[in-house]
Every structure is written in structure tokens, then in C-alpha cells.
Amino acid sequence: MKKRIVVALGGNAILTTDPSAKGQQKALAQTAYYLADFVEAGHELIITHGNGPQVGNLLLQQQKGSTEKNPAMPVDTAVAMTQGSIGYWLENALVDELKKRNISKNAATILTQVVVSETDPAFQTPSKPIGPFLSEAEMKAEKKKTRATFVEDSGRGFRKVVPSPKPIGIVEYPVIKQLVENGIITIAGGGGGIPVIVKDGTYQGVEAVIDKDFASEKIAALVHADMLVILTGVDHVSINFNQPNQSDLTKVSVADMEKYVEENQFAPGSMLPKVQAAITFIKENAKGKAVITSLENVKNLLTEETGTIITA
């Protein structure tokens, strides 16, 4: 039975140890091999993805070449730039993989603006590290020039931190929905989307980074997806992780997942936002499913429903 599925890719699906364009294209060709199974099975597919390393690298490149006449671009624009580059690579990789299977499909990338609230508490406490590590002297010079916020990061130097507000809307969701309804594989919400606020009736970019799992959930809810699949580095979410009594979760209810969240079973900044996004999706779409699993487990998910499957 055909389903509308939003698949949220983790960073390891794009960038491994080679940050060059060729290296990332090679990683995405492997990713496309797994994603093509959704299309081959007859499902409507929307793909979202992270872009943290790519934005960091781009900001570093811009910083090195920034001058008064050729200044570096702000974070929201850097997110848009990497949405475009990753989308370009992923579109081609998917179409090429499907051709090998004698499937003719079009893919399109939508530069996606994600609306956040100007009053979100995150703007008062920037917490999301971006960009390169700086020495103390470099940090002070940059802070004087930009008035940005920096934090010391595990003895490795200082990094700029920006707010990470929660998404409250997706500007382009009607376009995303229309594309997928017409059989086009749609790539959207890259890097959590371009963060914008509504001011004087217009959308204005802000210096922030949105968690891509929360943005993926918002897209999935707005396009009425049947399933949200959040891909990560493990086949299952576990409780008591890395302890002798570790237990993998297979089919689990929202109520049980909320209990595990209260018990602090999931690491903040790692598994926790994935679990929270999955819970929110089911609460907004009680007939849907949310799955957290690995890219390599996609085929098993489609045939045997394996992974951590969360339902109402």
C-alpha cells in the first residue's frame, strides 16, 4: 500500500571522512542506494537532511576570504547555500540509482524557509555551536567585530554559538505537498531549514540553526505524511544505553517513550531530539507511525517493519 513518507537523513549519510565535493557525492550515492528502496516499493518520498558540517566548513571558508568589499554571508544564507549544494548532489544520486533499476522519476529540491518565533527563549540563550574552533585571541577579535556569542568547547578552543529555536511553520509546505502528490521525489528542509521570523508582514532571516529532526516533523505533519522515518547510526533506540542491561526498543507507544524521556534515557543533542520529534509527530497524526533506525536497515524496515517503531 502506497504511503507518504518523510525520511530525515543523519549527517553521516552525507559526509564521512572526505569533505570534498567528490567525497560527499560518493557518500550520497551510497545513501541513494538505500533511499531508492522507498521509491521502488511505490511510496511517495520526501527527504530532509542535516547540514551542520557543511555549514561549518562554508563559514570557515568565508571567514578566511572575508573582506570589507567581499564580506562573509550570514548563517541563514549559508544554510540556504548548503541546502542547494546538497540537494543538487542528492537529486542526481537518486535519479541515477533509480535509472539502474529501470525506474524513471524526477526529483526536486525546495529551498525551505522555516518560521520561528522572535520570542522563542532560545534567542536569549544561544547554544548551538557552528563554524570553526578559534583561539582566545581570534575569538576576542571576532567578538569585537561581530558581537557574536562564543563558548569554550571541551578544551579545543572557542566556537560561535547561535540560538536553536523550535519551528512553528514551514513557508513552502504547500509546494512540497503539491510536488509529492505529483510523483516527484522532493528534497526539503535541509539543515533544519532557513530560519525566518515574520516581521512587518515579511519573512526575515535570522542568525539561528533549527534542529533538523524538529523541522522534519513539522514538514511531515503539514503534508499529512503517513510515516516519519528518522535515520541515525543505530538500528534501534535503546534504554540503559551502553550498560549491561541495555535493551533495544522495537514497537513502542508514545506513552512509554514519554516515560523514558522523563527518566533521562536519551542523550540531549543526540537521541533525545529524534525521540521528541517522533513523539510530536504521532501526537499530531495519531494514525501515523514514526520510525527511528539506521540507513542500512531501510530494506528490513520496508519488508519486516524492523527498527524502533513508535505509534499512538
User: Is residue 294 over pLDDT 80?
Assistant: yes
Q: Dump pLDDT digits (tens) for 31-70.
A: 999 999 999 999 999 999 988 777 877 877 877 777 888 8
Q: Of 78-87, 144-153, 197-206, 270-279, where does mean pLDDT reach its minimum?
A: 144-153
Q: What is the pTM of this model?
A: 0.91
Residue 90: is its pLDDT beyond 80?
yes
pLDDT of residue 132: 66
Of 146, 12, 172, 25, give the one whose Cα is nearest residue 75. 146
pLDDT at 203: 97
Residue 128 appears among annotated catalytic residues:
yes
- In the residue annotation, 11 being an active-site residue is answered as yes
For residues 97 and 103, what is the distance between their CA atoms, to the nearest angstrom? 9
Higher-confidence position of 219 and 303: 219
Rounded CA separation 107/92 (Å): 8
Q: Is 12 a catalytic residue?
A: yes
Return the pLDDT at 154: 66
Annotation says 274 is catalytic: yes
Nearest to 116 by CA among 238, 254, 211: 211
**CATH number attached to the domain at 4-310:** 3.40.1160.10
Active-site position among 10, 52, 189, 212: 212
Q: Which of 106-115, 144-153, 253-262 has the lowest mean pLDDT?
A: 144-153
Task: Please identify which of the residues 10, 52, 56, 128 carries the catalytic annotation.
Answer: 128
Continuous H helices in 43-192: 52-65, 75-100, 136-146, 173-181
More confident of the two residues 145 and 216: 216
Give the pLDDT confidence score for residue 172 in this predicted structure: 98
Single out the catalytic residue among 10, 274, 289, 307.
274
